[in-house]
Amino acid sequence: MSTQKGLNLTLKIWRQKNNKTKGQFETYQIAEVSPDSSFLEMMDMLNEQLINDGKDTVAFDHDCREGICGSCAMYINGRPHGPDTGITTCQLHMRHFKNGETITIEPWRSAAFPVIKDLAVDRSSFDRVMAAGGFISVNTSGNTLDANAILVPKEDADHAMDAAACIGCGACVATCKNGSAMLFVGAKVSQYALLPQGRVEAKRRVLNMVKAMDEEGFGNCSNTGACEVECPKGISLEVIARMNREFFVANADRG
């Protein structure tokens, strides 16, 4: 356990009633924050303080608080999920901040992620991209093969699992200067494209998912690599290259 005393912090937080109204930063003071607490626990402390003062609490998304669900989308001091790598906001601890520091907290900034309220944004665009092709069709009539009977090279299985680690948090979109979702879509395409179960619908899948991505208003990729740096699961840019290859092949076969 840390022996550091509680932190006294200034929080500049984006407040916005909904995506139809204009938002603004509001400043709050919070004292005696334990360095061992998580960033979300600090936000809980702030909201409790606001309730006691009879003020409106700050809306933010959260669920598992274990770095699994991808809900805790906050842009902290100019970085998605804050000043650490390989973590989500719920895994960020207050020991990464200094006593007396000012912390600026914003929602994801993307036209495809409209603000619901304050720091909470609507990421259902990701759901619609997944619905366009993030599945496989399996014929379950008759005697089905045991999954272990389908041979998959270990290297392919490893790469597929690496891609499947994507939790859809949207940090890649938030950090990209173009608001691109290609790391997310590339990961979802790759996790199926590398496995025999996903090859049957591979061409239709990549065409439909890329089309849905474009229709949702995400920007294009310009290979700056910021998405890979800020991805809490370390998804590689290789998934974008694989998606592009799958897309070009599917387009060529379509004629």
Question: Domain for residue 1, yes or no?
Answer: no
Question: Domain for residue 77, yes or no?
Answer: yes
Identify the domain boundary among 101, 116, 131.
116
Mean pLDDT of 188-198: 93
pLDDT at res. 162: 96
Strand boundaries in 16-156, DSSP class E: 24-33, 75-76, 79-80, 102-106, 115-117, 120-121
Of 121 and 140, more confident: 121
What's the total number of domains in the chain? 2
Percentage of the chain modeled with pLDDT above 90: 87
pLDDT at res. 197: 87
Domain limits at 199?
123-254
CATH number at residue 161: 1.10.1060.10
pLDDT tens string 32-79 = 999 999 999 999 999 999 999 999 999 999 999 999 999 999 999 999
Q: 97 and 47 in one domain?
A: yes
Q: Is the pLDDT reported for residue 241 higher than 80?
A: yes
Q: 134 and 205 in one domain?
A: yes
pLDDT at res. 2: 47
Mean pLDDT of 180-188: 98
- Tell me the pLDDT of the chain averaged across its residues: 94
CA distance 211 to 128: 11
Contacts (Cβ under 8 Å, ≥6 apart) of 61: 71, 72, 73, 119, 120, 121
Which DSSP category does 67 fall into?
S
Q: 47 and 18 in one domain?
A: yes
Question: Domain for residue 128, yes or no?
Answer: yes
Q: Is the pLDDT reported for residue 129 higher than 80?
A: yes
Q: 153 and 55 in one domain?
A: no
Q: Is the pLDDT reported for residue 138 higher than 90?
A: no
Question: Domain for residue 106, yes or no?
Answer: yes
Q: Is the pLDDT reported for residue 192 higher than 60?
A: yes
- Among 7-16, 106-115, 140-149, whose mean pLDDT is lowest? 140-149
Identify the domain boundary among 82, 116, 150.
116
Q: Is the pLDDT reported for residue 1 higher than 70?
A: no
Q: 95 and 202 in one domain?
A: no
Question: Domain for residue 78, yes or no?
Answer: yes
Identify the domain boundary among 116, 138, 170.
116
Which DSSP category does 59 fall into?
P
Q: 24 and 103 in one domain?
A: yes
Of 41, 193, 24, 19, the C-alpha closest to 123 is 19
Percentage of the chain modeled with pLDDT above 70: 95
Q: 104 and 30 in one domain?
A: yes
**pTM for this predicted structure:** 0.92
Question: Domain for residue 2, yes or no?
Answer: no
What sections of the chain are H helices per DSSP?
Answer: 39-52, 124-133, 154-164, 171-175, 182-193, 196-199, 202-215, 226-230, 238-254
Q: 73 and 131 in one domain?
A: no
Q: Is the pLDDT reported for residue 140 higher than 80?
A: no
| pLDDT confidence tier of residue 144, bands split at 50, 70 and 90 | low
pLDDT at res. 4: 60
Q: Is the pLDDT reported for residue 103 higher than 60?
A: yes
CATH number at residue 78: 3.10.20.30
